[in-house]
Structure 1
Amino acid sequence: MHRPRPAVGVSVAVLIVAGVMSGAGTGRATADPGSAGTLYVNHDVACSDTGAGSQSAPFCTVQAAADVVEPGQTVRIESVDDQTYSESVTLTRSGTKDAPITFTGAPVSAGGSWAELASTGSAPALTLKAVHDVRVEYLGVWYRGGDGVAVTGSEGVDLDRLSFPRPAVRAPGAGTAVTVDGASSDVTVSRNWIGDGYAYGVRVEQGAARVTATTNVVTTPRLGGIAVTGTSGANVTSNTVIAPCATGISLDGGSSGVVENNVVASTTARQSDTCPAPTAPLYTVSADSAAQVTADYNVAANGAPGGTRPRPEYSWADSPYPTTAALRDATGQGAHDIDGLNMLSLTAPNEHSALIDSADADAPGELSTDINGASRVDDPLVADTGTSASSRPDRGAIERQDTIYFRVGDTPSSTSGLAPLVTSLRTDGATSSWGEAFTYSVDFGDGGAPVTGAAGAPVTHSYTTPGRYTPSITVTDTDGLSRTGQYVPVLAATATPPAASLSGVADTTSDGQVNAGYARFTVPEPADVWEIAYRSLTFGDGSQQNLANGAQEVPHQYPAPGAYTATLTQTDQLGRTTTAKATFHAADAFVAMTPEFDTEKTIAAHGVLKLSAATVRADSDGVDAAELQIVTSEAKASGSLTLYTHGTTRPGTSSIDFEPGRSARNEATVKVTPTGSVDIYNGSSGAVTVNVATVGLQSHGQFADTYRPATPVRLLDTRGGTGGVTGPVAGGHSVTLTAAGTHGVPTGASAVVLNVGATTTKASGSLTVSTHGNSGSSVTGPYWTTGQTASAQIVLPLVDGKVVLRNTSRSSANLIADLVGWYGPIASGSQFQPVTPVRILNTHTGAGSGKIARLGAHATLKLKVIGAHGVPASGVSAVDLNLTVPAPSGTGYLIAYADGTSRPGVHSVDFTAKHTVANRALVKVGTDGEIDLYNAGSTSVDIYADLLGDYATHPAG
């Protein structure tokens, strides 16, 4: 019968394939999570160093707690994910024998992480200064080049289960993990993991008394593993020192005490700054200490028998001894020592190792548990060669435990289905290397109490609440050793699959510019994300993307303007699908251009001029349309020009009308090919010269501006002083007009849309409109003859919010400017959608009006402009039209405005008798989707309206 021992919990791999689980337990004890005597430190929450240190209002620093802790109190240093406290802490307050002070970094719950101290500068991370009855446990200590923990002038100190990880920065020859100075006594350094990089693992200085170093692991110390100098009553017991670059364990300076049950393992190394003495003896007891020191039951792992020994195993009283036999024969020490081993592993001894059950159980400082907290146990497969019949400790810091093997276990009888879901598990499949019997405990993972049974008995369970659960089985042998493994997860699904959700908006910058063809789709995490197997998002343009299960923001660039329906398809673990759809309106944003002389060409009668992308500056990202200014001259006959996309069928529309002996101008929006090409067709029987300049681009692939149509309002009329100028403007003179910062146009507007005109003209001429503050940015306004009233719509970039109107005529004229709209970085602005040019109104044929009839004098025609020809049925704020009045019989003007609003006193097209005239018009649309065309002339006229595109806003889809 083996001696009972406490269980030690260890997580193991999922039970899917056959495998073996072995190794010692790594259970970490947890301190009392709270009491009246507990002070809390947690700098990851709302904390204060001037408070009471309660759990709800903890200290921010460890030092704050150290400054006020009282006897009997525990300082709990809390940690989330290896939380680090970068401070050098000094404790000067003491406990009593009956009420010690405890500092602990143990996690509140099992499986958590220890808190860590990281020293600042060269000071130790923790200094215990002139204190007594203090315990420090479960802390990580980061090496910064100085000491980790320093005990100075103190007594009754326990340093237990500290971890000194390998440092990120090493300073050769500096730093000791634990230092005990010569004024200290009754200090125990136990069960600590000390990583390589330190000069010494544990160092005890001259004058100390009753210091115990037990069950520690020290790896690759540079100057010594455990070094004791001039210390009386030293106990160095059951430590493991791996690959020291100097002596592993040494006692000198007149020290007295015991060296028992230790393991020091050597390696072959070259001498260097970081490894100064790779051939030093594994154990050293100096001449002035030898008479007061007893050494036995130690292990010198210095190479296999018959092989080359890298170094002497002992130096006793200043004499070297290459083997344990040589030491024993010469001094009588080490009667039960072992050598002839190779071992550099930090795992438990291999089964049947000479280290197992061979230690002195009565050695001073010997603990009942190993460095991992596992009990010292009897291995039934190994003959007992130690000193006690009741306790069989292994040599070194790590105890060999029973090995529990798991073969393939039974998967749950049902792994998925609707809740309530009934499933069962078998409890078998474990064996013990020591031949022990097992009990099985199954935890179904839903919060219910575990079910315990004998091997082979099936355990049935009903999952009543929907969820994804991972059942586990814990196997416990007769000695109390436990191992836990997980089964395949079980899914108890909801009655209906989780709903899908999807929305999308255009990408915007912080200052309000928009990339109108670049969508950002938002996919929230499903309510029951555990139930989802996979998700995919199709964008409606032939492309798709697979998504993870968490909340997602998915960007996507569309190839062209248009309405796209994106679909999220969500498939759950049972194969059920749900979908969500969002419509994204990919559109264009306006890129204001400084108008330049782009090209001047003569087009033959009925000829076509092809303009390349470079010519119209439409060769940048995602350009779908160009806004062009066209000026005609030297016409040989009357006619019109039609602008259209190269490679497409020429539409039955016109962009500008012209006559011999007169210059004409207009602006037109034209769709471009993917390579930017535009065709201009001359519908006249004679040649005409054209001058083309680009005033703006519409792009779905650039961050640019949106459009805000205004309720038309007059900004300038020199006839009555509107705009601050009264009286005709002399020929060759200019007026400056404020266009931004007034009438709802913000000062940050990037471009303005105006109808500009001249009346009471005394001689023929034209109007030039320029950006104030930028002499190179100007467009041509209307041309007129003597006595003619003429107008034109223009788009002009802004610098300081002002524009300059210059009368180029030789004689005076009154100047007029009406606000139509503006462009700028506004999130609520409208985006452009170009269409294939189409004539939506022709009163001569009845198209669009429903009857063949001219628009009478002072009459109004309603025209529906939404829901057809590519224009959306909702969300439209303005339409881009070219309005033409062909060969009117009288003089007058048209007003185009939003239906349902008051008619403004502005001009959209001015016409004179017998002269066909066309003018671009960005017209605000009424809430009913209609615009009104009012004939302010004294005679009836025909009207053509050609649609070029629309401006619209769309809610997130």
Structure 2
Amino acid sequence: MRLRQFVGISAATALAVLGLPIPAASAAVTTLYVNNAASANCSDAGTGTAARPYCTIGAATRVVEPGQTVQVEGSYPESVTLTRSGTPEQPIVFAGSFRDRWPTAGFGVTNSPTALTTTGVHDVVVRNFRLSSSQEKAVVTDSARVTLDGLLVVAATDAPPAVALRGSSTDLTVSRSAFYNSKGIAIGAGVRNTLVTGNDLVDATGPGISATDAPGTVITHNSLTVGCGTGISLAGASAGSVLKNNIVATKPGSWPCSQPQNGISVATGSATGSTLGHNLLFPYLVGWGGAQYSTPAAFQQASAQGAGDLSADPRTTPTDGAPDRLKLLSRSPAIDAADPTAPRLPEDVFGKGLIDDPTMPNTGPGGTAYDIGAHEFHGLGRVDLGLSVNKGPHPLEFTATATARNLWPTQLSYSYDFGDGSAPVITTAPSAKHTYPTTGRFSVVVTVTDGLGGRVVSPDYNNAVEVTEPAPLVPDFSIEAGFEPLAYSFDPASTTSSWQLTKQVMDYGDGSEPTVNPGFSHLYAVPGDYQVKLTVTDAGGRTESVTKTVKVRYAPAGYLPLSPERFLDTRTALGDHQGKLTAGETLNIWPHNTGNVPYYRPVAVVLNLTVTGATQDGFLTVYPDGAARPLASSINFRAGQTVANLVTVPTGTSNRIRIYNSGGGQVDVIGDIVGYYDGDGTKYGEKFAPVQPGRLLDTRTTGGALDTTPRKVQVTGQAGVPADAKAVLVNLTATQPTTGGYLTAYPSDITRPAVSNLNFLPGQTVSNQALIPIATDGTITVYNPSGLTHVIVDVFGSYGPSGTSLFTPLTPTRVADTRTTGKLTQNTSLTVSPAAAPTGATAAVLNLTVTEPEGPGYLTTHATGTPRPPVSNLNFTTGATLSNHTTTPVDATGRFTIDNPGSPTHAIADLLGWFTAA
């Protein structure tokens, strides 16, 4: 193909030569439609009308005739094979949609070898598609006058060339397409007279464009960035070819390369009759006939080729929103420097045509205004359209203002089309006023020109004006619980006004900073009833408010048991606190930093909290971050004592909890997480099944005192625990220990964790509630690391599929304190009636405390009106202050009874939450 064939021809003739369609003069072109959208009413058995389109591209390929266009909307998981041909006068066209720099239609299957295949066809155009496949994206074999235009291809670096032209094909065109991270285009042996023009190849793996034994290949106006490897290659006998007006730049970071690289490489057998010139290479490396040249002057002197070649930074950058499109920056040496005789399309992929940059000299032949590379640089860029009002009652007067990016010192002209049939308003001012007299919805479009041929149109979104009937401003919003505990979203979409809303303010009623304008979502620190107020203002200057009550509550939750894991130990700085917790100090900690608990779902966590090394008597209070510190205790201790207690606490702000030291001294704190309640109810968690408290183990009557040999305890099938239980709630008691020590309870099928459930002193009787996962064989194991001790295990419930209740946590709340009413004397009871018992309550979770006991004894809790069970919840000795986590059944009104069979003592109950029927 000789260069002079393209010179002096008309635009219509050029389109025909380049393989682009020309509408038939004798008959209207018929359009077939393909649209697989759910609303499109498609059918492959139909005729492909707009009202009844085909569902697949393949259906259209089987029936399309010369002169017809197949218009495709959407994406299709199919490999397309073209078997039908057009004529030079009436080609077959397959057209995808193209919007805002991207093809929006696509086809291909990621794991199929090829997305598009054509064999033995002619006069076919495929344009504006995204192609997906595992190997070549498009393969054209033994075909003539086939054009691939406006394609988008993303490929892996180790994949074969994205477009492969093969066999005895002739007069093919690959144009205005984007190739990212691929070998790009490969023209094979026997292919003749191929035109490759106007393409972007970004991060190409060399060669980006190659022709092997393909005479008459024309490669013009392409932009390439490549890693180590050749940008454009003519190999074998590709004689009579043309390489002009291309940009080839090495990808930053790739230079220098470990092996030779050429921007352009032309083999000896391809140099005959071929022409190379006006290319911009950075760095400049040209291989020609077996020799390599590193400057334009050296290449021109040795070969009489390379006229107009440039060696400079091309100043290209990815286009906004389209990283595979390389636009020129201002002052690029490629501007107005191309050879105008080289074949190219009249417009680039963005519809931009020839324009002369008034700020740059015309350095190409004959003072050309063409730019080197795939894109023509225009000083006039994107235009954004702003409307003073988008909605209002008729008659509605408003102002439209265009903001255009113009890099050239030119006078801009603005043409406003207000979409209501009125004549366009043409002005040199960037703003124009208009009045809509009647209701309707109208699109406003502005076209900006710069007097040099530059033209840009405002995007077709955010530019509609709604004209309404006059109506009052009525604020309203909906309330929906969010995914996180105590998170709520507020949607003001139900607010109505004849004017657009200009300001919306949501006051969440908890003293936090109001939010201005959507979206409105809020995370409350603590449950409660809050007055949420929405205040809205519209463009008519009106302001109105509405207030609603949101009842912020923790969602009922299922339990997920965990293998116990330590998250806090002030002795070692685990949990980011080094050293004892001082008097009055509060530790703010994230209890699920172990990796076992998700950040965003827990409504409450279950901890085994241990204190040791206290310098004075005191207690700890554990409560959610963001809440006021409650009048409640979580664990009581004496100076020098090591004591543990189970704690159930809601998660607060950022899913953190606070641990407060009330005492006058210092204390080390150790925290082991044993499980959590999940905010998705039963989706991830297990339900609770309360049982009549019963005994699973008492070594005083069975098996003898526990030594250092771990002892298995059968759980499922005992004392009402069902076979499918996943975790068991027990009261663990040590009595008559020969030495000080601790007990660890854990599922029998895991390695013993480095945690403790219960700490004791020699001769002490002490209890602690424990939540223990159950092994697959239905057992748990109890371990005593030293000496001998008797162990009692009493069951109070289990968690699993057979459970019936979900848990709702509360910020610890004191519900009983005999220090204000008098001690519980021996064989007396206290009935507790919490004021806020929810409907369907089946059990209450408490922290039960005794103080000032006059002798040894124990407390037992049970549902009011039921017999006292033969178990203990809390054991005490004379003068001790002790606490124990307790889960107790309640009666139909939420009441429970505390029985004291032993010595007189004060009893305190702090409510931690409720179980309710699922």
TM normalised by structure 2 equals: 0.54
- 2:95 is equivalent to residue 65 of structure 1: no
Match of 2:223 in 1: 193
Q: How does 1:289-304 map to 2 (within 5 A)?
A: none
Counterpart secondary structure, 2:122: coil
2:149 is aligned with what amino acid? T
Q: How does 1:552-567 map to 2 (within 5 A)?
A: none
Counterpart secondary structure, 1:152: coil
The change in CA–CA distance for 1:188 and 1:44 in structure 2 (over 3 A counts) is same
Take 2:243 and 2:416, find their aligned partners in 1: how far apart are those partners? 39
Counterpart secondary structure, 2:209: strand
Q: RMSD over aligned Cα, in angstroms?
A: 7.8
The change in CA–CA distance for 1:729 and 1:377 in structure 2 (over 3 A counts) is closer
Match of 1:923 in 2: 888
Shift of 1:134: 2.8
Shift of 1:626: 9.7
Match of 1:499 in 2: 477
Q: Which residue of the other structure, out of 581, 589, 600, is the alignment partner of 1:621? A: 589
What does the per-residue CA deviation read over 1:361-397, in whole Å, with 9 as the maximum and x for residues that have no partner? xx6x666836676566899999999999xxx975665
Q: Which residue of the other structure, out of 442, 446, 449, is the alignment partner of 2:417? A: 442
Take 2:668 and 2:370, find their aligned partners in 1: how far apart are those partners? 92
Shift of 1:866: 3.0
- 2:65 is equivalent to residue 47 of structure 1: no
The change in CA–CA distance for 1:366 and 1:41 in structure 2 (over 3 A counts) is closer
Shift of 1:153: 1.4
Match of 1:95 in 2: 143
Residue pair 2:336, 2:362 contacting (<8 A) in 1 also: no
Shift of 1:739: 3.8
The change in CA–CA distance for 1:404 and 1:744 in structure 2 (over 3 A counts) is same
Shift of 1:66: 2.0
- 2:915 is equivalent to residue 897 of structure 1: no
The change in CA–CA distance for 1:478 and 1:840 in structure 2 (over 3 A counts) is same
1:948 is aligned with what amino acid? D
Q: How does 1:476-491 map to 2 (within 5 A)?
A: 482-485=455-458
Q: How many residues align?
A: 728
Counterpart secondary structure, 1:132: coil
Shift of 1:707: 11
Take 1:653 and 1:248, find their aligned partners in 2: how far apart are those partners? 82
- 2:318 is equivalent to residue 280 of structure 1: no
What does the per-residue CA deviation read over 1:123-182, in whole Å, with 9 as the maximum and x for residues that have no partner? 6853433312433233224576x68432431234333332233x366xxxx63634363x
Higher relative contact order (CA 8 A, sep 6+): 1
Q: How does 1:216-255 map to 2 (within 5 A)?
A: 216-219=245-248, 223=262, 240-242=278-280
Take 1:409 and 1:141, find their aligned partners in 2: how far apart are those partners? 29
Residue pair 2:296, 2:310 contacting (<8 A) in 1 also: no
Shift of 1:276: 2.8
2:862 is aligned with what amino acid? Y
Counterpart secondary structure, 1:280: helix
Match of 1:345 in 2: 333
1:583 is aligned with what amino acid? V
Counterpart secondary structure, 1:928: coil
Match of 2:207 in 1: 175
Match of 1:660 in 2: none
Take 1:649 and 1:422, find their aligned partners in 2: how far apart are those partners? 56
Residue pair 1:105, 1:115 contacting (<8 A) in 2 also: no
Counterpart secondary structure, 1:834: strand
Residue pair 2:845, 2:912 contacting (<8 A) in 1 also: yes
What does the per-residue CA deviation read over 1:301-321, in whole Å, with 9 as the maximum and x for residues that have no partner? 899xxxxxxxxxxxxxxxxxx
Take 2:619 and 2:581, find their aligned partners in 1: how far apart are those partners? 14
Take 1:652 and 1:247, find their aligned partners in 2: how far apart are those partners? 80
Residue pair 1:884, 1:945 contacting (<8 A) in 2 also: yes
1:369 is aligned with what amino acid? P
Match of 1:719 in 2: none
1:829 is aligned with what amino acid? F
Match of 1:325 in 2: none
Q: Which residue of the other structure, out of 460, 480, 504, is the alignment partner of 2:435? A: 460
Residue pair 1:152, 1:180 contacting (<8 A) in 2 also: yes
Counterpart secondary structure, 1:460: strand
Q: How does 1:639-718 map to 2 (within 5 A)?
A: 674-678=659-663, 711-716=690-695
2:694 is aligned with what amino acid? L
2:435 is aligned with what amino acid? T
Take 1:122 and 1:75, find their aligned partners in 2: how far apart are those partners? 21
Take 1:220 and 1:877, find their aligned partners in 2: how far apart are those partners? 73
Take 2:770 and 2:869, find their aligned partners in 1: how far apart are those partners? 22
Residue pair 1:622, 1:700 contacting (<8 A) in 2 also: no
Take 1:833 and 1:346, find their aligned partners in 2: how far apart are those partners? 70
Shift of 1:465: 6.3
Match of 1:738 in 2: 714
Q: Which residue of the other structure, out of 849, 858, 878, is the alignment partner of 2:845? A: 878
The change in CA–CA distance for 1:418 and 1:955 in structure 2 (over 3 A counts) is farther
Residue pair 1:41, 1:75 contacting (<8 A) in 2 also: no
The change in CA–CA distance for 1:156 and 1:651 in structure 2 (over 3 A counts) is closer
Residue pair 2:198, 2:373 contacting (<8 A) in 1 also: no
- 2:849 is equivalent to residue 819 of structure 1: no
Match of 2:177 in 1: 139
The change in CA–CA distance for 1:229 and 1:629 in structure 2 (over 3 A counts) is closer
Residue pair 2:169, 2:191 contacting (<8 A) in 1 also: yes
The change in CA–CA distance for 1:460 and 1:248 in structure 2 (over 3 A counts) is farther
Match of 2:914 in 1: 952
Counterpart secondary structure, 2:114: helix
Take 1:398 and 1:379, find their aligned partners in 2: how far apart are those partners? 15
Shift of 1:442: 1.6
Match of 2:54 in 1: none
Shift of 1:115: 3.6
Q: Which residue of the other structure, out of 754, 765, 771, is the alignment partner of 2:731? A: 754
> Tell me, which stretches of 5 or more residues in structure 2 are unaligned?
1-9, 13-19, 24-30, 34-59, 85-93, 97-104, 251-260, 313-329, 571-578, 592-604, 623-627, 637-642, 650-656
TM normalised by structure 1 equals: 0.53
Shift of 1:191: 4.2
The change in CA–CA distance for 1:828 and 1:538 in structure 2 (over 3 A counts) is farther
Q: How does 1:300-379 map to 2 (within 5 A)?
A: 345-348=333-336, 369=346
Shift of 1:534: 8.0
The change in CA–CA distance for 1:861 and 1:136 in structure 2 (over 3 A counts) is same
Shift of 1:566: 9.7
Take 2:806 and 2:839, find their aligned partners in 1: how far apart are those partners? 17
Take 1:176 and 1:383, find their aligned partners in 2: how far apart are those partners? 30
The change in CA–CA distance for 1:381 and 1:834 in structure 2 (over 3 A counts) is closer
Match of 2:198 in 1: 161
What does the per-residue CA deviation read over 1:57-114, in whole Å, with 9 as the maximum and x for residues that have no partner? 94426735325573344445722xxx77663468462335xxx3333344xxxxxxx3
Residue pair 2:608, 2:647 contacting (<8 A) in 1 also: yes
Take 2:361 and 2:648, find their aligned partners in 1: how far apart are those partners? 97
What does the per-residue CA deviation read over 1:737-766, in whole Å, with 9 as the maximum and x for residues that have no partner? 4345753478886773338799xx9xxxx9
Take 1:540 and 1:116, find their aligned partners in 2: how far apart are those partners? 51
Take 1:894 and 1:366, find their aligned partners in 2: how far apart are those partners? 97
- 2:384 is equivalent to residue 422 of structure 1: no
Take 2:278 and 2:821, find their aligned partners in 1: how far apart are those partners? 103
1:839 is aligned with what amino acid? D
Residue pair 1:42, 1:78 contacting (<8 A) in 2 also: no
Q: Which residue of the other structure, out of 186, 199, 224, is the alignment partner of 1:149? A: 186
Shift of 1:677: 4.0
Counterpart secondary structure, 1:950: strand
Take 1:903 and 1:441, find their aligned partners in 2: how far apart are those partners? 86
Shift of 1:280: 1.5
Q: Which residue of the other structure, out of 431, 441, 445, is the alignment partner of 1:472? A: 445
> Tell me, which stretches of 5 or more residues in structure 1 are unaligned?
8-27, 107-113, 254-272, 290-294, 304-341, 350-354, 508-518, 599-610, 632-640, 657-664, 681-691, 717-722, 785-789, 848-853
Residue pair 1:534, 1:548 contacting (<8 A) in 2 also: yes
Shift of 1:864: 1.2
1:866 is aligned with what amino acid? A
Q: How does 1:779-794 map to 2 (within 5 A)?
A: 794=768
1:47 is aligned with what amino acid? E
